[in-house]
Amino acid sequence: MEAYTEALCREIAMQGSLFAAAGQAVTVYIGGGTPTALPLSLLERILRTVQRCFPLAADAEFSVEANPGTVDAAYLAGLLAAGANRLSLGVQSFNDRLLQRIGRIHTAEQARQAVFMAQAAGFKNVSLDLMYGLPGQTLADLAASVAEAAELQPQHISIYGLQVEEKTVFFRQQQQGRLQLPDEAVAETMYDYMTEELPRRGFIRYEISNFARSGFASRHNLGYWQDVPYLGMGTAAHSYWAGRRQENTVDIAAYIRQVMEGKLPAHEEEPAARSLHMEEFCFLALRTVQGIDRQKFVDKFDCTLESVYAPVLADMRGKGLLAVDDVGVRLTTRGMKYGNVVFAAFLL
């Protein structure tokens, strides 16, 4: 971990000078992985290196991802002191049985305490992740977790449906018929419940999976969906810089070696073709509730949305998936459920 932290700080230093020419950073996000798997001293060092090497805006949003079982009051205080001003906790559920079922190392109580401690330490911007569609989960379970999450008064809640990926334990269990996921109809009810209940409790939806109190949307994540360039540092980190997407080497040992040799560990990708840029611009913007802003499209691509997408707009609108007006186009409630259908239509 020492070696990795050392290497990461080196990369931060190298990138910082590149970045400075572009201006100030408006957001920082420390994620992974599990940042809080590091001892505080190492994580602190990383945060301070960022502060030192990158010009940060005065009101920059500085987020750190934390695992509820790995932080205590001292740790949190340390993070705050090192410059963090937003905390994202991977809670997932406030039901111990479910937490165990999905292999989490923390308990509901620990999750609760983590939130209290963060708030007590002085974090004014706390986000919680919740999941639905978990094996053995009922609508009642979900409702209870949502209620508890809301009552803890975080500023932001993200909700994710469980997706079984290949080569995972869940995948194997599913193959063997040992994974009892809620059926399609129930999963849909869970999704509907959350998307209705959270706003009722004051968390406004701003993206397919993200809800926040007014003024507390994650600016960093909004950047992903609004075509804002960013630099990623660390093993397997992604960047979107100078119009091209890049990824750092995924092998930790190789990463450390390359950085210590003074090389930037990114794999070059080809610069995005205009059509690719347009596609990504569209399907990413459509993830947000505001959708695609017509003026922004014109500013970026020097042509109107209609000139490229008129038949697509008509088709999606006809299917009740897209709302179209003078300001822009965005997914309807139904459209959010069938997002992929709409996104695919915007491919050229």
Partner 1 sequence: MQTKNIRNFSIIAHIDHGKSTLADRLIEYTGTLSEREMEAQVLDSMDLERERGITIKAQTVRLNYTAKNGEVYELNLIDTPGHVDFTYEVSRSLAACEGALLVVDATQGVEAQTLANVYMALEHDLAIIPVINKIDLPSAEPEMVKKEIEDVIGLDTSNAVLASAKTGIGIEEILEAIVHDIPAPSGERDKPLRALIFDSYFDSYKGVIAHIRLMDGRIRKGMQLRMMATGKLFEVTDVGCFRPAPVDVDELVAGDVGFVAGSLKNVRDVRVGDTVTTVVNPAAEALPGYRGVTPMVYCGLYPVDSADYDSLKDALEKLQLNDAALVFEPETSIALGFGYRCGFLGLLHMDVIQERLEREYHLKLITTAPSVIYHVHKTDGEMMAIDNPSKLPTPQEIDFMEEPYVKATVIVPNDYVGAVMEVSQNKRGEFKTMDYLDTNRVMLIYHIPLSEIIYDYFDQLKSMTRGYASLDYELADYKEAKLVKLDILLNGEAVDALSTIVHVDNAAYRGRQLAAKLKELIPQQMFEIPIQAAIGNKIVARENVRAFRKDVLAKCYGGDITRKRKLLEKQKEGKKRMKSVGSVEVPQEAFMAILKVH
Quick check: 83 binds partner 1 (CB under 8 A)?
Answer: no
Quick check: 26 binds partner 1 (CB under 8 A)?
Answer: no
Q: Is it true that the peptide bond before 33 is cis, omega within 30 degrees of 0?
A: yes
Interface of this chain with partner 1, residues 214 to 273, rule: CB under 8 A: 221, 224-225, 230, 232, 236-240, 245, 247, 269
Q: Closer to partner 1 at the Cβ: 75 or 283?
A: 283
Instruction: State which of residues 102, 107, 160, 324 lies at the interface with partner 1 (CB under 8 A).
Output: 160
Q: Closer to partner 1 at the Cβ: 116 or 171?
A: 171
The angle formed by the CA atoms of residues 58, 71 and 79, to the nearest 5 degrees, is 20
Nearest distance in Å: CB 343, partner 1: 5
Residue corresponding to tokens 């269990």: 173
Residue 189: both structure tokens together: 């009810």
Q: If we measure between CA atoms, which residue out of 211, 208, 201 comes closest to residue 291?
A: 208
Q: Which residues pair with 330 in a beta bridge?
A: 323
Contact 12, 46 (CB under 8 A): yes
Nearest distance in Å: CB 208, partner 1: 6
Instruction: State which of residues 42, 276, 308, 323 lies at the interface with partner 1 (CB under 8 A).
Output: 276
Q: Closer to partner 1 at the Cβ: 160 or 193?
A: 160
Nearest distance in Å: CB 137, partner 1: 15
Instruction: State which of residues 69, 83, 135, 161 lies at the interface with partner 1 (CB under 8 A).
Output: 161
Q: Closer to partner 1 at the Cβ: 152 or 162?
A: 162
Residue 258: both structure tokens together: 């390359």
User: How far apart, in whole angstroms, are the C-alpha atoms of residue 335 and residue 176?
Assistant: 34
DSSP code, position 181: P
42: Cα within 13 Å, side-chain hemisphere: 13
User: How far apart, in whole angstroms, are the C-alpha atoms of residue 69 and residue 66?
Assistant: 9
Which one of the spans 12-20, 36-44, 155-163, 166-174 is the region binding partner 1 (CB under 8 A)? 155-163
Quick check: 337 binds partner 1 (CB under 8 A)?
Answer: yes
Give alpha helix (H) positions in the chain: 2-20, 40-53, 73-81, 96-101, 108-121, 139-151, 169-175, 184-200, 219-225, 252-260, 274-285, 294-301, 305-318, 333-337, 339-345
Which one of the spans 44-52, 95-103, 252-260, 274-282 is the region binding partner 1 (CB under 8 A)? 274-282
Instruction: State which of residues 23, 58, 163, 318 lies at the interface with partner 1 (CB under 8 A).
Output: 163
Q: Closer to partner 1 at the Cβ: 125 or 239?
A: 239
Quick check: 184 binds partner 1 (CB under 8 A)?
Answer: yes
Q: Closer to partner 1 at the Cβ: 117 or 231?
A: 231
φ, ψ for residue 347, nearest 5 deg: -75, 145
Nearest distance in Å: CB 276, partner 1: 8
Contacting residues for 106 by C-beta, under 8 A, at least 6 apart: 67, 68, 69, 99, 114
Contact 288, 225 (CB under 8 A): yes
Nearest distance in Å: CB 199, partner 1: 18
Instruction: State which of residues 6, 197, 279, 306 lies at the interface with partner 1 (CB under 8 A).
Output: 279
Number of helical H runs and strand E runs in the chain: 15, 13
Binding footprint of partner 1, residue count (CB under 8 A):
41
Q: Closer to partner 1 at the Cβ: 213 or 238?
A: 238
Quick check: 280 binds partner 1 (CB under 8 A)?
Answer: yes
Quick check: 85 binds partner 1 (CB under 8 A)?
Answer: no
DSSP SS3 for 326: coil
Question: Which chain residues interact with partner 1 by CB under 8 A?
Answer: 159-161, 163, 184-185, 187-188, 191, 208-209, 221, 224-225, 230, 232, 236-240, 245, 247, 269, 276, 279-280, 283-284, 287, 319, 336-341, 343-345, 347
